[in-house]
Structure 1
Amino acid sequence: MHALIRKCAAAHVRANSNFIHISTSTAPSIKETGLYGFHHLKTPKGFQRFVDDAIERSQELVNYIAGMPSSPEIIRAMDEISDTVCSVIDSAELCRHTHPDREFVDEASKASLRVNEFLHYLNTNHSIYKAVNKAEKDSNSLTHEAHRAARFLRMDLEKGGIHLCSEKLDRANELAIDIIQLSREYNENIITDPGHVDIFPASKIPKKLHHLVSPIYRNLPGSSKGSWGLRDKTKEKGFRLATESSTLQGFLQCAPDAGVRKVAYVQGNSVPHANLEVLDKLIATRHEFAQLMGHKSYAEFALHSTMAASPEVVMSFLLEMSKVVRPKADQEFEAIQNFKRENSGDPNGELDPWDEAYFTWLMKSAKYKLDSSAIASYFPLQQCIEGLKVLVESLFGVTFHGVPLAPGESWHPDVMKIVLHHPTEAIYNTCFQGDLGYLYLDLKSRKGKHPICAHFAIRGGRQVSETEYQLPVLAIVTCKSEEYRTTRKCSVDQSTSFNIDFSTTCLDWVVALVCNFSGSSLAPVRLNHSEVETLFHEFGHALHSLLSRTEYQHFSGTRVVLDFAETPSNLFE
């Protein structure tokens, strides 16, 4: 548990794990640099030097804090530790989730683990704890924000167990490391072992779904193995469906065979098998940790510092919400079930879990004459970006435009970078002439990229001096499929593919969709409604960080209590 520096709510992978977030990067430059503008990250091994430098600088600051300087200096030094150490954490997490080079990913994982180990030292350092307590009590010499930072730092340190006796603290540290490793193992298993289901005969899969599956063959009874020359006579063709979430969702929505849907649903929700053991261990470890901290449950521990404050408040809220939405939900469930009975030939048929997506979509199409391609035609990606531009300018007076990426700064050709600008910002930050911060956009799925939609804070904003403000640097990561989403259109041809090219001058971004239906043609990449919501949601997170101006990066943007962190994003959505 890295209590010293609190992780932002977004990376969300909309992540909610317990380790940290914060960062440092450089302003845009045409000179050669490394990933995200960090000169260390020109090569994978650069992560090692990145960690070394962060630890060295942080240790200097720890020694300075131990000398008990003035209370404002204690808080300022603590904030610099956060900024320094978490520049590595944030960069490593973004790299682990998005970089196509496995060596970069591996080195980023090693860097993350090394820094996490160092954070245990920081979070259990009694000199730091003593200094933070001193600063909190010395409220007269602190600004309101500095005093609030002192209070939160003290509370966050105590979340890690620094107030416990040495024996309990040692055990808390062991459990914290186990929680991090188990959480990471759980997520990695989902990525590396999505599972699959084999479906025979091939006739059970209609042609419109062939782009979601791969052909396979099995020996017929009595046939000899390896008779490839007689494949048509001795082997039966089938299809293999990878049961990762987005593919499974599209398949269940469009597969007409109930038996196939059931097999796919059950198998898809039963993998990865290794996570059953991991989850049991994680639950037990979290429970022991929470009890060590003096809480009845991990839920109580996780919620006590949020606005909700307790599991009882959360449960009360959910029950009240349930009372409001349950009548409508029951009504809709009954309507879908009746639609199934009317259209399946079984007047007593029940609506099974694997039926819901299929019959919901059929009913929408029949009742509302819903044409998903017509809906998507309103949402070309270029126009969605233009819509964001218009909204941001009309609401906040903020403009944004694309800027060139320096050599070595990007991790993939699809990545774009934009800068947000406000004319009066130059008054407060003359160094950057009105710039508010920078935002990377990585919107397209590809091999090796985690299937997530997330906002990563690479660097938090903070006041460096009376005339200088450290600008935030963010990244939005989504996974627009290579193929047109079958979750929204079930009649797409299996040869559909994308080729996207974004220019980086102003907002003249060229977005092209190459569809090989009956030859080559160009059309805009279109988002379905859910993807538009996701884009706006994550952009709301980014705006939260880019528009906030805080004295300390500890409070920058999404580095707030978790149940408030989603408010700006949902508002923008």
Structure 2
Amino acid sequence: MKILALSILCAVAIVDLGAAEMKTADDFRAAAEKANAVLTVPEWEQTPGAVEKAMNDAIATANKALDQIGQQDLNNVTFQSTVGALDDLTYKANLQANKATIIKETNTDGGMRAAGKKAVKRFQDWAVGIDYREDVYKALKAFAATHPQLSGEDEKLLFETMRDYRRAGLELPPDKRREVEQLRKELAKLGTDFDSNIVNTKAPVIFTKNELNGVPESLLNAPGVKTGDNTYTVLANVTWQFVAVQENAKSEATRKSLYVVHDSLAKDTNVALLNKMLELRNNIALRLGYKSWDDYQTETRMAKTGAGAKSYIDNLIAGIQPKFDAELAILQKMKAADTNDPEAKINVWDWRYYTNQLKKQKYAVDTEALRDFFPFQKVLEGMFNIYQSIFGLKFEQIAAPYKWADDLQLYLVTDDASNEPLGMFYLDMFPREGKFNHFAEFEIIGGKILPDGKYQRPTVALLCNFPPP
């Protein structure tokens, strides 16, 4: 017992020593200062009340800045007093909105997620509304009317700001403008509800062991999956569980039933929302003078029009169709052999399974068997080493002052040659109830040249849903 106790004590001491040796962002501030840059670790609200207050404070501060823009003498407007000031204040307000989004998508407490959602809606309503501050618009319009000799980023920012005012309907009569504003606000709220409904939906699908024939033991033995003597509950809303069944289940009925549930998440509430969103989008586009929402959306992009986007897609399909048909024929042949049905077709719930079988049969690649040789942390470190070598970077894990999940990691990126800090990123890699259920990068602090000339280095979060190690 003494030896066991001593071993445990030594292990704890080693863990504590490792934690003590982990650097913090403060250790890199001198290097950032030397590069005329700023490193900022976000300060996270930890109660619903704090989330609400922080958003209200951010909006109040931004409104004061908007008032200053709108109240200035229109004969003495400058770039910094108009376009620059608007860019600065929206950037600062967005910092709080970004944090609220992360809280909404990641926090382990349902009350905090609800507070994050409420704060995001509050911000979206405000963000749409500032497009319709006529006093601010007049100040920017007065500056644009001076035909300033700008270049580079300043020229681009002025052009896009005035373009976006037009796209918001500021050239419309006041009554039509108010209609568009209300439609946009309603659309923003519905979009947030739509996304939240999907994330908050828990979709258990019950199978027997036989129905899951072919599915790897790593899923069958995962916590919470085996729920009876011959009962297994797969969560269609958990990405890695869904993919594991789609790639490995021999039963087409199993693959189909899980696929249908997965692609119907929150349908009882979201179908009505989606129909309303489509209606709102069309009404907004028509009121702004566009033929359709796709024309409105593509105007600022390379396609320029809905017809341009459709032409690109049609040309892309035409180009890849022969290759697609050839690959599909291979999968169909495999399914025909499996089912003894020469007319077998590859359905949308089949392609992952037969693609996986093709890798096994033709290339002797079993991705599930390979997992044993590529544990998560080892793969992560190996990937980092590759990127560090190619791009001359260094990724270093640092202590996170606050963690919204126990396994959250925070990394700082530096230039390997100069040691200049370039930014930070959080890794939130594994699924849990109430968390965003796909894979995406979320901005927390955007990179920006600040009013004092220093460059704010970015901080982002990668939200993923890999199988838990």
Please indicate the TM-score interval, normalised by the length of the shorter structure.
Answer: 0.7 to 0.9
Give CA-to-partner distance per residue, 1:165-205, whole Å, 9 cap, x none. 22212211221122122222222222233534444x66433
More deviation, 438-447/86-95: 438-447
Matched, 1:58 2:53: no
Residue in 2 aligned with 1:411? 404
Report whether the alignment pairs 1:264 with 2:258. yes
What is the deviation of 1:374?
5.6
State the shift of 1:263 in Å. 3.2
Q: Quick one: structure 1 residues 341 and 449, their matched pair in 2 at CA, closer, same or farther if it must change by over 3 Å?
A: same
Distance in structure 1 (CA, Å) of the matches to 2:420 and 2:94: 26
Gaps of 5+ in 1: 1-26, 31-35, 218-231, 426-432, 483-497, 499-573
Q: Secondary structure at the match of 1:353?
A: coil
* Separation (CA, whole Å) in 2 of partners of 1:257 and 1:305: 46
- The alpha carbon displacement at 1:283 in A equals 1.0
What is residue 79 of structure 2 aligned with on the other side?
71
Counterpart pick for 2:458 among 472, 477, 496? 472
Q: 1:91 deviation in Å? A: 0.7
1:524-543 paired onto structure 2 within 5 Å: none
**Cα distance, 1:300 vs structure 2:** 0.9
In the alignment, is the contact (CA less than 8 A) between 1:136 and 1:147 conserved in 2?
A: no
Alignment of 1:305-454 (within 5 A): 305-373=300-368, 375-376=370-371, 379-406=374-401, 409-422=402-415, 434-454=420-440
How far the C-alpha of 1:357 sits from its partner, in A, is 2.6
Q: Partners of 2:357 and 2:437 in 1: how far apart?
A: 27
After the TM superposition, which of the residue ranges 342-351 and 208-217 deviates more from structure 2?
Answer: 208-217
Deviation at 1:96, TM superposition (A): 0.7
Q: Would you say the 8 A contact 1:398–1:420 is kept in 2? A: yes
Query: Residue 25 of structure 2 aligns to a residue in which SS?
Result: coil
SS at match of 1:455: strand
* Alignment partner, residue 205 of structure 1: 212
Which of 151, 154, 166 is 1:158 aligned to? 166
Once the two structures are TM-superposed, the CA of residue 379 in structure 1 deviates from its matched residue by: 4.8
1:368-390 residue CA offsets vs partner (Å, 9 max, x unmatched): 22221465467544454444544
SS in 1 for 2:274: helix
User: 1: distance between equivalents of 2:424 and 2:259?
Assistant: 41
CA distance in 2, matches of 1:361, 1:40: 42
* 8 Å CA contact 2:121, 2:192 repeated in 1: no
- Mark the CA change 1:396 to 1:191 in structure 2 (over 3 Å): closer, same or farther: closer
Match among 290, 296, 309 for residue 301 of structure 1: 296
For the 8 Å contact 2:131–2:168, the answer to whether it is kept is yes
CA contact (8 A) 1:100 1:412 kept: yes
Q: 1:166 to 1:184 in 2, by over 3 A?
A: same
Question: Unpaired segments of 5 or more residues in structure 2?
Answer: 1-23, 28-39
Cα distance in 2 between the residues matched to 1:307 and 1:357? 32
* Counterpart residue number, 1:570: none
Q: 1:344 to 1:169 in 2, by over 3 A?
A: same
Give per-residue Cα distances to partners, 1:428-456, cap 9 Å, x unaligned: xxxxx832222222222222211121111
Tell me the TM-score normalized by structure 2: 0.81
Alpha-carbon contact 1:55-1:85 (below 8 Å) kept: yes
The alignment partner of 1:335 has SS state of helix
Match for 1:83: what amino acid? Y
Matching residue's letter, 1:272: A
Q: What code does the residue aligned with 1:449 have?
A: K
Is 1:28 matched up with 2:25? yes
| Whole-angstrom distance in 2 between the partners of 1:268 and 1:460 | 33
For 2:135, which of 124, 127, 136 is the aligned residue? 127
- Quote the offset at 1:245 in angstroms: 6.1
Q: TM-score, normalised to structure 1's length?
A: 0.67
Q: Name the residue aligned to 1:564.
A: none
Give the superposition deviation at 1:465.
4.5
Secondary structure in 1 matching 2:404: coil
1:260-306 Cα offsets, whole Å, 9 max, x none, are 33333344434433222221111111111111111111111111111
SS, match of residue 465 in structure 2: strand
Residues 334-388 of structure 1, C-alpha deviations (whole Å, 9 max, x = no match): 1111122223223333333333332332232122222214654675444544445
SS at match of 2:45: helix
In 2 relative to 1, CA 299–195 (structure 1 residues): closer, same or farther, beyond 3 Å?
same
Residue 92 of structure 1, CA deviation: 0.6
Q: Are residues 265 and 462 of structure 1, via their aligned partners in 2, closer, same or farther at CA, if it must alter by over 3 Å?
A: closer
Task: Decide whether the 8 Å contact of 1:40 with 1:46 is kept in 2.
Answer: no
2:236 aligned to 243, 248, 254, which one?
A: 243
Amino acid at match of 2:170: I
2:106 aligned to which of 90, 98, 104: 98
Corresponding residue for 2:273?
278
CA 1:357–1:462 in 2, change beyond 3 Å: closer, same or farther? closer
User: What amino acid sits opposite 2:199 in the alignment?
Assistant: I
Q: Secondary structure at the match of 1:45?
A: helix
SS of structure 1 residue aligned to 2:329: helix
Is residue 2:41 matched to residue 1:43? no
Amino acid at match of 2:254: V
Amino acid at match of 1:176: R
Query: 449, 453, 461: which one pairs with 2:447?
Result: 461
More divergent stretch after superposition (245-254 vs 440-449): 245-254
Q: For 1:88-142, what per-residue CA distance to the aligned partner results, in whole angstroms no more than 9, with x for missing partners?
A: 1111111111111222212212222222222233110112212222333445454
User: Partner amino acid for 1:76?
Assistant: G
State the secondary structure of the residue aligned to 1:418. strand
Specify the alignment match of 1:85 in structure 2.
93
Q: Is the 8 A contact 1:195 1:272 kept in 2?
A: no
- 1:168 aligned to 2:176? yes
The 5 A counterparts of 1:515-530 are none
